[in-house]
Structure formats: C-alpha cells, structure tokens
C-alpha cells in the first residue's frame, strides 16, 4: 500500500509535471499560432474577396463600356460623314443625302453587337416631305426599314416626349438616354444620339438604339459566390437594371439602396437586414455598374479555413499528447524502477536487477545505483558476519561468567546502577535471577550487620574478608566491573 502511494506521488511529481509543462507549452504555442493564423487568414480572405469584387466590377465595366464606346464611335463616325456629305436642305438633295447615309450606316454597323435600331430623322421644320429613315432588327435576321414615327404629332421643344429627338435637339450635343420603351416596337432600349447641323441650323438627329436585354445579359453574367450579383443604376440613385427586379414593369424606378452613394472604394451597406459589400464603377453612358455580395458569404470562405485549421490543431494536439505521454513514460519508467529498488533496500532486500543501460544521465544513475547497492550489500553481509561472531563471543563469555563460582557484577560509574551480574551475585543478593538486579543501586538493598554482606554504596569499602575487584569497559558507557567472593 505504501509502495503504491509512493508510486502515485512519483507519478504526480515527475511524469505529470513533465507532461503538464510540455502540453501546456504546446497548447500555448498553438493558441498563439492559431490567433495569428486566424487573423492572417481573415485578412487574406477579406482582401481576396475585395480584390475579386474589384476585378469583377472592372471586368464588367470594360465589357459594358466596350459595347457602349463602340456605339459612340460609330455614331460619331456617321455624324462626321453626315455633316461632310450634307450640301443643302432642298428636298431632292436631302433625299439623296439620306440614301447615301443609309448605305454608310449599313457598312459601319455591320459587326456591331446589340444594335436593335438605327435612324436618321429630319426636323419637320426643315422639310415636311423628307422625314428620314428608321431600320430595325428585332428578330436577329437583319435590319429592315420600318415606318418612321410622325414627329409632327409631338412638341419637339418638350424634352419629356420623343426623348431620342427632343433631348439632342435641346442640348445640342451627343447624349446617352436612359432606358425607355421605343415607339411602335414596345421594346426597352438605351440609345446614343447626336444632333446634325448645317451652317449652325438644326437639321435632325442620328442615333443608335441598343437592345436593353443585351446589356442585361452582360450584367447577369457577373456573379460572385452564391448570392453575389451586379446591377446598374443611373448614377443619380435610381436602379435601371437589377437581376432580381422586373424594372420594366415598374411605374417608377426603384431607388438604389442607402449607403451605395458612398465614394469609398469598398462600400458596406445594409439591404433587407443583410450586410453587404459592394464595389461600383462608372459607365461611359452615365450609369453606374455595382457588384454586391453578402458579407456572410465573404466570411464563409476564410471561416471554413479557420475551422480546418482548428481541426488540424486539435488532431496535432491529440497526437502530441499521445507522443508526450509515451515519451515521458519512457523517461520516468527507469526512475520508477529505481524508486522500487530503493524501497526494497529500505525493507532490507538487496537482491534486485535494473535493466536500463542507455548512454544517458538516467543510465549513468542506474549503473551507479547498482554499484552502490552491490557495495552496500557486501558491507552489510560482512557486518552481519562480524556481528554473529561478536554475539557468539559474548554468549561464550556470558556463559563463562555465569558458571564462575565467584560473584561477578558491573556497575555504572556515574549512577551506580547495576548493569550486569551473574547468577551467583543474584543469589547472593537474594534475587531469583540476574534480571531482577539489573538497574538497581546499592540503596535498593538492605545493609547487613554481619561481615560478608553487600556494601551500602560503592564508595564504602567492602566488609568482605578478602574482596576481589575487577574493572571492565563496556561499549556504550563507562562502567566498572567488580567481582568478589569468599575463598572456600
């Protein structure tokens, strides 16, 4: 029981301490590494997501602007040709001019994508007979001439009506118009229009209308994560296209979510109680492309990595604990064996064996301990042999003294107590055996009045007729040994 308690204490004091300190250091190191790792992964994840947002928005901006700028360039090219070809406002000259411009339109727009209509309209104030032309391509089979809208039915000074004509006339410069439903086709388009002048006089308008769905398809292709998307507003706070809204059927355009008006590079805002992150880029037609993604989905990426790291750290920690447990057991087992051997030596058992023979500190300690134990065993064996000899000698001497006819005793020189006596002395002192005399002093005996009795104190001379005294030194204290007797 005592051995088990000592072993338990040993385990707690050595193996447990080594394991606890080592595991604690590993856990502390892992926690520090995990904290810095999580922070780094979080920053990298967020930076990566922000970079992806910027790249997507930049790519979407370039694709959309490429189509819009292509239309601008075509209209400007045609406008330059129109103004160089226009040499008069007479009806005959105007008609011949329109025919040439129509052919030029076809050549310029041959490889232009997304164009639904193109037109060149003459202001009724210039000619009441020559109206211009309007070509449409609604089925993808090529451009066909369509009946033109009767401009005389509208007030050309009112920019809220017939916007593709009235707005360029009012502004006097090329202009992009926001999405609208074109006349007679009931199709939603965006258009780029430029006024035509001859010698400072307004002649008419040339323009190209883009299919709204062509732009919408490009915006729809911009996605990020599971619920990230892109949409377009007019740059003034109104949404002109949204993949999750049917803007065409709405009487009024929906407002851009609050917070997106910020000019920050990365915009954070709330929409329907969902925190989102967005990046915006301006388009050449005045609109703005916005790419938005829920923050939760951005965080999901780096949080997934964090979970993987935590699991990996947990597995590594478990592996380290198992390894350290076995390693400390390997270190402490020789010490446990030494402890058990020490307990056996304490109980008097010097026969043991220690089999640890490594070239380390514990191996040196084990071999030294074995040599010390062997030497101690030899010394104890020799000492026991010597003790046995002394015991036999003492027993022989005691037997000799007990069988002597004369009385024999010894006393403490300081206290006067009897330390030894033989049977003869015990009988002489009226005691049954020598043990009854040991420890007594002269004061414990009655002093007889006749000669031959014991003296009262050792300081008195013995009244015996012919006394005999002898002195003997004992191992533990100073003692005198006196023997006296009567001769027969």
Q: Are residues 374 and 467 in the same domain?
A: no
Per-residue tokens: 183 = 């006349």
| Residue 102 belongs to some domain of the structure | yes
**What are the φ and ψ backbone dihedral angles of 194, each rounded to 5 degrees?**
-140, 140
Residue 387's CB: how many other CB atoms inside 10 A? 10
Residue 193 has pLDDT above 90, yes or no: yes
**pLDDT tens-digit profile of 311-345?**
888 888 888 888 877 777 777 777 777 777 777 77
Q: What six digits make up the tokens of 475? A: 């191992």
Quick check: 27 pLDDT over 60? yes
Q: How many domains does the chain have?
A: 3
Q: Is residue 309 domain-shared with residue 436, that is, in the same domain?
A: no
Task: Say whether both 121 and 261 belong to one domain.
Answer: yes
Residue 270 sits in the same domain as residue 222: yes
Residues 152 and 69 in one domain: yes
**Within a domain: 3:** no
CA neighbor of 470 nearest in space, from 424, 415, 411: 411
- Supply the DSSP string of 68-120, one letter for each residue: HHHHHHHHHHHHHHHHHH----SHHHHHHHHHHHHHHHHHHTTT-TTEEEEEE
pLDDT one-digit tens code per residue, 236-270: 888 888 888 877 666 677 788 877 777 778 888 88
Check whether residue 302 and residue 416 sit in a common domain. no
Rounded Cα–Cα distance for residues 407 and 404 (Å): 7
- Where do the H-state alpha helices sit in 261-294? none
Same domain, 64 and 163: yes
SS3 120: strand
Global pTM? 0.61
pLDDT tens digit sequence for 370-417? 788 878 878 888 888 888 888 888 777 777 766 766 778 888 888 889
Confirm whether 4 is domain-assigned. Answer: no
Please give the residue that has the higher pLDDT: either 355 or 433: 433
Q: What spatial distance separates the first Cα and last Cα of the chain, rounded to whole Å? A: 66
**Residue 58 three-state SS:** helix
Chain Cα centroid distance, residue 124: 75
**Sheet with 188-198, side-by-side order of all strands:** 144-145, 132-136, 115-122, 201-211, 188-198, 175-181
* Residue 363 structural domain: 350-397
Give the tens place of pLDDT for each residue, 406-422.
Answer: 778 888 888 889 888 88
Does residue 5 form part of some domain?
no
Q: Are residues 287 and 371 in the same domain?
A: no
Are 411 and 321 part of one and the same domain? no
> Is position 59 within any domain?
yes
64: which strand partners?
A: none
Instruction: Name the band, by pLDDT with cuts 50, 70 and 90, for residue 464.
Output: very low
pLDDT at 303 over 60: yes
Tell whether 65 and 191 lie within a shared domain. Answer: yes
- Which value, in Å, is the radius of gyration of the alpha carbons in the chain? 61
Residues 326 and 354 in one domain: no
Q: Which class for 134: exposed (0-12), middle (13-18), buried (19 or more C-beta within 10 A)?
A: buried
Q: What are phi and psi of 429, to 5 degrees?
A: -90, 15
Domain boundary among 341, 363, 379: 341
């Amino acid at each position: 029981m005592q051995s088990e308690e000592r072993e338990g204490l040993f385990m707690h004091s050595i193996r447990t301490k080594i394991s606890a300190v080592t595991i604690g250091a590993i856990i502390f190191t892992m926690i520090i590494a995990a904290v810095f790792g999580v922070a780094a992964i979080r920053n990298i994840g967020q930076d990566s997501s922000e970079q992806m947002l910027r790249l997507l928005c930049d790519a979407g901006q370039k694709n959309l602007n490429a189509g819009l700028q292509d239309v601008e360039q075509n209209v400007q090219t045609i406008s330059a040709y129109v103004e160089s070809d226009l040499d008069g406002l007479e009806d005959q000259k105007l008609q011949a001019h329109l025919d040439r411009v129509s052919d030029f339109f076809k050549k310029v727009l041959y490889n232009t994508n997304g164009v639904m209509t193109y037109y060149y309209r003459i202001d009724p104030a210039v000619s009441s007979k020559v109206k211009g032309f309007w070509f449409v391509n609604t089925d993808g089979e090529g451009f066909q001439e369509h009946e033109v809208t009767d401009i005389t039915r509208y007030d050309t000074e009112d920019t809220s009506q017939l916007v593709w004509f009235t707005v360029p006339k009012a502004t006097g410069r090329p202009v992009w118009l926001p999405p609208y439903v074109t006349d007679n086709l009931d199709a939603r388009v965006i258009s780029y229009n430029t006024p035509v002048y001859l010698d400072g006089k307004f002649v008419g308008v040339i323009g190209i209308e883009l299919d709204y769905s062509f732009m919408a398809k490009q915006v729809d292709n911009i996605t990020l994560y599971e619920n990230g998307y892109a949409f377009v507003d007019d740059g003034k706070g109104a949404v002109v296209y949204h993949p999750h809204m049917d803007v065409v059927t709405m009487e009024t355009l929906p407002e851009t979510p609050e917070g997106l008006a910020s000019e920050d590079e990365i915009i954070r805002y709330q929409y329907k109680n969902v925190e989102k992150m967005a990046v915006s880029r301006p388009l050449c037609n005045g609109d703005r492309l916005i790419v938005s993604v829920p923050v939760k989905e951005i965080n999901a990426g780096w949080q997934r990595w964090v979970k993987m790291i935590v699991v990996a750290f947990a597995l590594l920690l478990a592996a380290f604990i198992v390894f350290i447990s076995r390693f400390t057991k390997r270190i402490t087992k020789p010490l446990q064996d030494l402890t058990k051997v020490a307990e056996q030596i304490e109980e008097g058992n010097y026969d043991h064996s220690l089999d640890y023979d490594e070239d380390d500190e514990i191996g040196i300690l084990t071999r030294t301990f074995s040599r010390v134990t062997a030497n101690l065993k030899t010394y104890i064996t020799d000492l026991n042999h010597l003790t046995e000899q002394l015991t036999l000698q003492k027993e022989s001497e005691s037997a000799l003294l007990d069988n002597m006819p004369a009385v024999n005793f010894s006393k403490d020189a300081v206290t006067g107590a009897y330390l030894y006596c033989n049977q003869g002395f015990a009988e002489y002192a009226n005691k049954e055996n020598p043990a009854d005399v040991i420890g007594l002093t002269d004061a414990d005996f009655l002093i007889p009045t006749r000669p031959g009795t014991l003296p009262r104190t050792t300081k008195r001379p013995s009244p015996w007729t012919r006394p005999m005294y002898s002195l003997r030194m004992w191992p533990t204290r100073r003692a005198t040994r006196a023997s006296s007797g009567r001769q027969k």
